[in-house]
Structure 1
Amino acid sequence: MSSKATLKKLLEELPFSAEVYWQLRGQYKQWSAHYQLEGLKSVLPEAVREVQAYALPNPAPKKIAIFAPLHYWIEQASLIALALAGQGHQVELAYLPYAEWDQPISRFDLRRQDLYTQKVFAPASPILKLTPLMERLQPDAKLPAELEQIVRQVSDYDTQYTLQVEETDTSSPLFQLRMARNRQAAGALYDWLQTERPDMFIVPNGTILEMGVAYQIARLLGIQTVSFEFADQRERIWIAQNGEIMAHDTSALWEALGNQPLPAAARQAMLDLYTARRNARLWGNFARQWQQAPQEGAQKVRTELHLDARPVALLATNVLGDSLTLGRQRISASMAEWILGTLRYFVEHPQAQLVIRIHPGELLTHGTSMVAVIQAAFPQLPENIHLILPDAKTNTYDIIEIADLGLVYTTTVGMEMAMAGLPVIVAGKTHYAGKGFTFDPPTWQAYTQTLDEILHNPAAFRLSPAQVEQAWLYAYLFFFEFSLPFPWHLLWLGEDFRLRPMHYVLSPEGQARYSQTFGYLAGEPLDWSARGLARLSELPTPKEPAA
């Protein structure tokens, strides 16, 4: 250890050393740490003035608490807090000043980041209560058993999410780090929420990291809670009231708006979006490209894979450790176990063919590939099983055209296979299961029995026109109605705030577009029946004719 590092470590042990450093030197230096709030710092004073100038009357204001644990979520949460304050609510923003969730940080540096945060937020003090939860952190605090259970479950998810694995090594440094950090956060959050007892608590994500801990504790205390995340569309947000948003619970949406004919405008929007997804293009305000290669034709894929007349099942994987697979087990202990069990089934049933499409998203990840998992268990695949690697220039939708059956864990490709009329067996807990157009076996025995029945006569299990119609309706509801209008997307926060500053959001025009969403964040019931098909009138203009 260098002499400079040794001196720093000694200074860290001294009481109030970070405060003394900040007062004498830190606050005058240009901030250069990875923990950054400079974007917020540049707009906050004017945003506060606009909230004060354009504040709306509210005859029934609520006491609202918001929590964020990472610098980018703190910036996002601060804008939500200011907008809610501008709508007449009493708002408190609590935070933990972390830059990274998977790297240790000294208490000296964490305290320094805390003091920096307080300085950035100083202009907001007239309208926003700021609560630094670092002051409540107790490294050696003993937690009640119910809080320890929350900490352990969330730390398990954190490790899987970070390493992109499905099994957690509880002796690993990462798990131990997440346990320690989540335990400290749990004590601070429990103390704060129990003391403040807000009418409404708002937290990003609600499943992983300190955000997952915060959500679980709020619900434990019986506090009304909203979790939120951002869809892959500009100017849209996902919201769950008293639920984890990443669970994508669409049951209330489907109950309210399912089982109706698909309007022509909605059908056109879905046709255009589906065409873009199939042909590896962006569309409308969607920011994700789902395929790496455009379609080349089903017959070409059949020839390249040497597929014959036997029934073809397409198994589409998720990325290991993806947030949409956390806690989604139903008929197996993990997605990997389900895939390997399915492989064994097809090894024993050569009268059918299996095509495994590894998720192209694996090219963007660093975790264990499903390719490695499969090859470790099956070094040599039989002739009826075909593995398509994530970087293969094979379009998934070409395979759908030649498939007789779809097999999925939670990927939305399962929904799209149903839209094509394929029978689809869902093995995990996903939002589109149980909606009337998929097969959802509750046990492994039921799963293999369903495989037997469908592969024996696939044509008899093709979806009916009514089921296909409902699959298209559900897809429209999920892609277009489930997300709600919102001015500032996390990924484009600076640009979005320049386009839609606080005075615009609080203006009559901004309120006409966003007031309902902010109302839902503040606890007004999200009534899907009352909303109806709200987006029909504002769908993006199609850029090409329907396929």
Structure 2
Amino acid sequence: MDTSTFAERIKNTANSVIDVSQVSDIVAPLYYGLRPLDPEVQQTLASVDFPQIDNDTVDRIALFPDFYASRYRTVFLGLLAHVLYDQGIGSLFLFDDKQFPTCKPKEGPADCVECMKKSQKLIDVMGLEAEYLGDIDTSGVTPLSPNPEWMVQDAYSSVKRDQLIAEVDEENPHHQQLLEEYITGGQIAWQAAVAVDHQYDFDYLVTNIGPGLPKRSVLQYAKQEDKKIVGVMDPAFGRGDGYLFNHGELPLSQYMTEDKWQAIKSTNLEEEDRTELQSFMEDRFESARYQKHADRGVDIRSALDIDSDTETVYAMFTHLLWDAAIDTRLSRAFESHNDWLFETIDCFAQRDDRLVIKTHPAESIRKTNQGVMDVLDERYDELPENIDVLPPETDVSTYALIDLANVVLAYCSTTGLESAYMRTPVVTVGQPHYTDKGFTHDVESPSEYVAAIDADPKSLELSDSEYRLAQRYAYNYFIERPIYLDMIKPGFIGDEEYSLSLDSYADVIEDETLSRIGRSIVEWDDYFYRRKE
């Protein structure tokens, strides 16, 4: 099947019949896993004696399109639902019951049933009000036709994440099947959102924000209908276990609107704030989870054979190639992360300056089926002598490289923010959450990018006022915004380090942090962006 025919077909999947039996190795989203609900977690929840949420007793409803029940996410959202209920807002959870074709698990029907059992256990033990997709009457809802561009883009993002790859191969029948199935799932979720809204008239949407189906369909519907959106980012921020929230700014929950940034930057950091930030960053540089391979004892100049007195060094930090942070909608100067990679190498092939490309350590920690070094091997027989590529397992520290570099090149990596904090100038080519904040050089085209590289590095250095903005934003992002819950210790997403500390229902509704989150939703204030009151 040629690409044009396939591209035309993918726009109209809503009107086609898909034989999901032909694909046997699709799994539900990456982080969830199909583990049964931990007995100790279930026992703890049962001991709390949650009341049944009754939406007939409230005037407002929050929709939680959770779809796939999980230990760390559904439990947290269930606790939040009860706090909202105590403050006058009801809730409705949406769970899948084998309606999504992309949920078909590797191990067969038993795991699919186990996934449903997990959601039912959580519904029962936490007193949640919920609907399964198969029970929602969508007969009166018209599918979106043709498939909107955002849904097609989200399908591509979902396939890349599903397969852990950089690019979808439109000539690969398996990838074609996956794209069609994700779009079908997006249509199912859209129709469910419409039907549920007609029945419940929900006021709020509480969901993870990311460029993936099926949840993105519910988010798009909520934005279309002007619902209040609470975006939640999984607990991996701040010290490593903090949640991030926002009011639906896209593409991810790290983002904020310009007016919120203007309000934040108008307040100066006090000396105690700077001291707190310095202490936090020093700890981060030593203990960041993605620095597990780094050896602080490595002499980076010797390791890379760099004469710092005579050579100008550019440090380039790449990404996981399937990660949401480099979704095509976050592109700015280049069409894709790989285009940026190739243009940079081709540019430095004509220069004497040193380029050090540090591949993301998450390639080895979170795994990938297509890494940056694979992409480079496919394109280049060999690289120029002035270009070094550090593998994911390198013992060279990210922060030692930032400190060595004259200029940092970033797509959307958080290292761009860290570099600015370390006063190393940063050139961005994507749309990271810290772009356009006044302390990075944000180029708009390949020619502007090359011009920035051609510029004298000293001309890119941060002024005192720019550095103050970098400090202010870093303080907000790393310290002010992350929200921590003492009762839940999720560990790193997807790992086994999980604990739940609850003795009574009062522990939930009287928890200071959970209550404040609930109150922020009720009052619709700026607590999610600036928690100092």
Give your verdict on TM over 0.5: yes
TM-superposed deviation, 1:293: 1.7
- Note the alpha carbon deviations across 1:286-336, whole angstroms, 9 max, x for none: xx3535224336xx3223222241311111111111122223111111111
What residue in structure 1 maps to residue 272 of structure 2? Answer: 265
TM-superposed deviation, 1:117: 4.1
For residues 41 and 401 of structure 1, do their structure 2 counterparts lie closer, same or farther at Cα, with a shift above 3 Å needed?
closer
Which residue identity is paired with 2:509?
L
Q: 5 Å matches for 1:127-166?
A: 128-136=128-136, 143-145=143-145, 148-166=148-166
User: How many angstroms apart in 2 are the aligned matches of 1:374 and 1:92?
Assistant: 47
For residues 523 and 246 of structure 1, do their structure 2 counterparts lie closer, same or farther at Cα, with a shift above 3 Å needed?
farther
TM-superposed deviation, 1:276: 2.6
What residue in structure 1 maps to residue 355 of structure 2? Answer: 354
User: How many angstroms apart in 2 are the aligned matches of 1:215 and 1:167?
Assistant: 25
Is 1:65 the counterpart of 2:68? The answer is: no
Question: Is the contact between residue 82 and residue 509 of structure 2 (CA under 8 Å) also seen in structure 1?
Answer: no
Bigger shift: residues 145-154 or 66-75: 145-154
Q: 2:420 aligns with which of 404, 415, 418?
A: 418
What residue in structure 1 maps to residue 27 of structure 2? Answer: none
User: How many angstroms apart in 2 are the aligned matches of 1:240 and 1:146?
Assistant: 31
User: How many angstroms apart in 2 are the aligned matches of 1:152 and 1:249?
Assistant: 23
Q: 5 Å matches for 1:463-482?
A: 463-482=462-481
User: How many angstroms apart in 2 are the aligned matches of 1:168 and 1:313?
Assistant: 30
Give the gaps of 5 or more residues in structure 2.
1-33
Is 1:246 the counterpart of 2:252? The answer is: yes
User: How many angstroms apart in 1 are the aligned matches of 2:118 and 2:314?
Assistant: 56
What residue in structure 2 maps to residue 459 of structure 1? Answer: 458
For residues 101 and 373 of structure 1, do their structure 2 counterparts lie closer, same or farther at Cα, with a shift above 3 Å needed?
farther
What residue in structure 2 maps to residue 524 of structure 1? Answer: 524
Which residue identity is paired with 2:471?
W
Which residue identity is paired with 1:384?
N
Bigger shift: residues 114-123 or 361-370: 114-123
Question: Is the contact between residue 83 and residue 506 of structure 1 (CA under 8 Å) also seen in structure 2?
Answer: yes
SS of 1:68's partner is strand
For residues 135 and 268 of structure 1, do their structure 2 counterparts lie closer, same or farther at Cα, with a shift above 3 Å needed?
same
User: How many angstroms apart in 2 are the aligned matches of 1:521 and 1:147?
Assistant: 32
Bigger shift: residues 59-68 or 390-399: 59-68
What residue in structure 2 maps to residue 198 of structure 1? Answer: 202
Question: Is the contact between residue 406 and residue 424 of structure 1 (CA under 8 Å) also seen in structure 2?
Answer: yes
Question: Is the contact between residue 155 and residue 182 of structure 2 (CA under 8 Å) also seen in structure 1?
Answer: yes
Question: Is the contact between residue 294 and residue 395 of structure 1 (CA under 8 Å) also seen in structure 2?
Answer: yes
Is 1:497 the counterpart of 2:497? The answer is: no
User: How many angstroms apart in 2 are the aligned matches of 1:384 and 1:374?
Assistant: 15
TM-superposed deviation, 1:264: 2.4
TM-superposed deviation, 1:61: 5.3
Give the gaps of 5 or more residues in structure 1.
1-32, 283-287, 535-547
Question: Is the contact between residue 256 and residue 528 of structure 1 (CA under 8 Å) also seen in structure 2?
Answer: no
- Note the alpha carbon deviations across 1:401-451, whole angstroms, 9 max, x for none: 221111000111111221222221001110111111110011111111121
What residue in structure 1 maps to residue 326 of structure 2? Answer: 325
User: How many angstroms apart in 1 are the aligned matches of 2:331 and 2:472?
Assistant: 26
Question: Is the contact between residue 426 and residue 440 of structure 1 (CA under 8 Å) also seen in structure 2?
Answer: yes
What residue in structure 2 maps to residue 12 of structure 1? Answer: none
For these two proteins, the number of residue pairs brought into alignment is 479
What residue in structure 2 maps to residue 439 of structure 1? Answer: 441
Q: Which has the larger radius of gyration?
A: 1
Please, what TM-score do these two structures have when normalized by structure 1?
A: 0.78
User: How many angstroms apart in 2 are the aligned matches of 1:490 and 1:221?
Assistant: 35
Q: 2:179 aligns with which of 175, 178, 183?
A: 175
User: How many angstroms apart in 2 are the aligned matches of 1:316 and 1:521?
Assistant: 36
SS of 1:356's partner is strand
For residues 69 and 439 of structure 1, do their structure 2 counterparts lie closer, same or farther at Cα, with a shift above 3 Å needed?
same
User: How many angstroms apart in 1 are the aligned matches of 2:413 and 2:51?
Assistant: 43
For residues 292 and 402 of structure 1, do their structure 2 counterparts lie closer, same or farther at Cα, with a shift above 3 Å needed?
same
Question: Is the contact between residue 235 and residue 241 of structure 2 (CA under 8 Å) also seen in structure 1?
Answer: no
User: How many angstroms apart in 1 are the aligned matches of 2:110 and 2:363?
Assistant: 37
Bigger shift: residues 231-240 or 416-425: 231-240
What residue in structure 1 maps to residue 399 of structure 2? Answer: 397
Report sequence identity in percent.
Answer: 19
Is 1:378 the counterpart of 2:377? The answer is: no
CA RMSD of aligned residues (A): 3.4
Is 1:388 the counterpart of 2:390? The answer is: yes
For residues 445 and 119 of structure 1, do their structure 2 counterparts lie closer, same or farther at Cα, with a shift above 3 Å needed?
closer
SS of 1:203's partner is strand
Please, what TM-score do these two structures have when normalized by structure 2?
A: 0.80
What residue in structure 2 maps to residue 231 of structure 1? Answer: 235
